[in-house]
Amino acid sequence: MKKIFQFTVAGFSLLALLSSTSLAELKLPSIIGEGMVLQRDQQVPIWGWDDAGTEVQVSIEGQKVSAKADAEGRWLVNLKPLKAGGPYAMTIAGSSEAAFKNVAVGEVWLCSGQSNMEWTVNSSDNPQEEKAAANYPMIRHIKIPHVPMATPQDNVASGGWQETTPETVGNFTGVGFFFGRHLHNELNVPIGLIGSNWGGTRIEPWTPPVGFKHVPALKSIADKLDEYPQKKADGGINHQSPLALYNGMIAPLVPYKIRGAIWYQGESNRGEGMLYFEKMKALIVGWRSIWNDSEMPFYFVQLAPFTYGGSETSLADIWEAQTETLSVPNTGMAVTVDIGNIKDIHPRNKQDVGKRLALWALAKDYGKKDLVYSGPLYKSMKVVDAAIRLEFNHVGDGLTTRDGKAPSHFQVAGADGNYVEAQAKIDGNSVVVHADSVKNPKSVRYAWHQLAEPNLSNKNGLPASPFRAGE
């Protein structure tokens, strides 16, 4: 608080006259605080609120940058790029002062989606061993609470940033933590993880308006944005309504600088087929737009097999939509058909999920050359006599099966479109499939069933993604 000088003239105190201007206080969004990780090597926005016209100065590592609060009290400064390291001290001084002694600079990632992203280290494989070994003071996590809102918010309450210790890590996002740990061990820089996720949520509530407007296939949603988010019968905001979680859980984070986002979601949109691809495009372009980063990396998890019931192929349709999302630049997909649990929609092996996402980031964003970061992805097919020869991208050190048996879960169909089980064999970097009962095969599909746990992979241990091809 600014000092107040009290004078008495003829028994009249000027204190009352000054009080209206002396109650000013510097305010910061919850994501800016003790223990935070700032994005390295890029311009870093720091912002907050104060009395209109108040000059606010931000100091860190020899930089001193100032700005005046605008008519609405908002101020923003941009720090010049900082090198990785810490802990550093930061001071923000305006009508009052905030001082942080434990600021790190490194790589910052948003970890979003539904329950498989929110799933904690406590509930992942080997939780006691993972917690006992979790001494990583330079991996920090902040959890964003579940807050659906009707309009975009400029702040959201949170418990602040936490360092990774055996006492704290249990409540971190499992996929996010194992992703961050792999990056930290490979890059030797601080890692910041922003956990903004909510179990059971659809993709629509996370998407900004600009995302819906960008995708013609979603015009029916874009045309009704003024009607969202919808209210529930009790008057609360429907957290599944378009915009609701963007408003309450993403907008308050902007413009905090991040390197990119990891995403694990889709179970709640199962049954939509390729429409989900359109919605993924909307989410990606929407986030890139609000963060003003048209090339922001976006890496996501392909859903694991599970006994959903209903249509046996609706999950495969989502797999196809997720694979098609790779056509969007600067995206990557972690395939999980080999590490799921068909009896549990929340597979406990989050370690490999996080690592597989990290492989994409290491290869695409951090210059790790000659790194095999994806399992085989369908490339092309050619009918040869009564068989189909399949070619793949990302064969790595060669094709193999994880159980040493012939490739499983292949089917072929002729002109009638009736699929039958096929025999498959690896031939160099190709797979050749045929069925004795189909003399003129026209199409092929792989692992096209919600319970499929196929065995094809590359010799680097990364599984092939389900696909279908042909007429």
Model pLDDT for residues 339-398, shown as the tens digit of each residue: 999 999 999 999 999 999 999 999 999 999 999 999 999 999 999 999 999 999 999 999
Q: What pLDDT is recorded for position 24?
A: 73
Calculate mean pLDDT across residues 280-286: 99
Q: Is the dihedral of CA 206, 200, 225, 274 positive or negative?
A: positive
Residues 6+ apart with CB under 8 A from 385: none
Q: What pLDDT is recorded for position 246?
A: 98
Q: Could you tell me the end-to-end alpha-carbon distance of the chain, in angstroms, rounded to an integer?
A: 72
pLDDT in tens, 434-454: 999 999 999 999 999 999 999
CA–CA gap between residue 430 and residue 452 (Å, rounded): 21
Q: Is 317 helix (H, G, I), strand (E, B) or coil?
A: helix
Quote the radius of gyration of the chain (alpha carbons, Å): 26
CA–CA gap between residue 282 and residue 274 (Å, rounded): 13
Per-residue tokens: 234: 């009790």
Q: What pLDDT is recorded for position 224?
A: 97
Q: Is the pLDDT of residue 1 over 60?
A: no
Burial environment of residue 159 by CB neighbours within 10 A (0 to 12, 13 to 18, 19 or more): exposed
pLDDT in tens, 79-112: 999 999 999 999 999 999 999 999 999 999 999 9
Beta bridge partners of 397: none
Q: What pLDDT is recorded for position 266?
A: 98
Residues 6+ apart with CB under 8 A from 340: 304, 305, 306, 347, 453
Q: What pLDDT is recorded for position 8?
A: 31
Q: Which helix (H) or strand (E) holds 419?
A: strand 419-421
pLDDT in tens, 318-331: 999 999 999 999 99
Confidence band for 15, pLDDT divided at 50, 70 and 90:
very low
Q: Is the pLDDT of residue 169 over 60?
A: yes
CA–CA gap between residue 202 and residue 427 (Å, rounded): 41
Residue 332 CA to its chain's centroid (Å) = 11
Beta bridge partners of 160: none
Mean pLDDT of the chain: 95
Residue positions counted in the chain: 471
CA–CA gap between residue 103 and residue 63 (Å, rounded): 14
Contact 347, 340 (CB under 8 A): yes
Q: What percent of the chain has pLDDT over 70?
A: 95
Lowest-pLDDT range, 22-36, 313-327, 332-346? 22-36
Calculate mean pLDDT across residues 189-215: 98
Q: What pLDDT is recorded for position 337?
A: 98
Calculate mean pLDDT across residues 215-244: 96
Q: Is the dihedral of CA 253, 191, 262, 380 positive or negative?
A: positive
Q: Is the pLDDT of residue 21 over 60?
A: no
CA–CA gap between residue 237 and residue 244 (Å, rounded): 7
Of 392, 271, 273, 395, the residue nearest 324 (C-alpha): 273
CA–CA gap between residue 365 and residue 234 (Å, rounded): 46
